Amino acid sequence: MADRTQSSVEIAAEPAAVLDVIADFERYPEWAEQVKACTVLSEDGDGWADQVEFTLDAGAIKDNYVLEYDWDVTEDGTGSVSWHLVRATLLKGLTGTYALARSSTGTTVTYDLEVDLTMPMIGMLKRKAEKHIINTALTELKKRVEG
């Protein structure tokens, strides 16, 4: 099994408020710096996004890709949102999870990520890139929710 990178952040808001921001894909370009466009392609029967297309510009890494989502959340917003890569140009694999748990200060969000590129990359550099992606995403999510 491949190694994954994981990190957590505390957000001073209820899990449902955090989940609302995570689920509002079309607004990602407003707060997720490297996401230039985001379009929901399909939704499941409950209204959750099923497939989402992203346009990413992370400097040297630019790609258009589609992720498929699995929503395992309760009405209060706790649970997990997972995704995997459906198609891309540069990415060969992208799987991840946001796990939301109620905490004494609001919500603990744990982000778990594994990225696989079509070009070879030394494992240590890959983990460093994953860590940067996670830390940036969690920082931007916290800022947007607590805004």
90: tokens are: 């540069």
What is the pLDDT at residue 92? Answer: 83
> Which of 5 and 72 is assigned the larger pLDDT?
72
DSSP class of residue 86? E
Contact assessment for residue 52 and residue 25, using Cβ atoms and an 8 Å cutoff:
yes
Q: How far is CA 135 from the centre of its chain?
A: 11
Give the tens place of pLDDT for each residue, 35-61. Answer: 999 999 999 988 999 999 999 887 767
Q: What is the DSSP annotation of 89-133? A: SSEEEEEEEEEEEEETTEEEEEEEEEEEESS---HHHHHHHHHHH
Here the CATH number for the domain that contains residue 125 is 3.30.530.20
* CB-facing half-sphere around the CA of 74: CA atoms within 13 A: 9
Domain that holds residue 122: 5-146
What average pLDDT score do residues 2-27 get?
92
What is the pLDDT at residue 35? Answer: 93
For the chain, how many structural domains are there in total? 1
What is the pLDDT of the chain when averaged over all its residues? 89
What is the pLDDT at residue 68? Answer: 98
What is the pLDDT at residue 3? Answer: 62
From 22-26, 132-136, 139-143, the region with the lowest mean pLDDT: 132-136
> Which of 71 and 118 is assigned the larger pLDDT?
71
What is the pLDDT at residue 1? Answer: 39
pTM of structure: 0.88
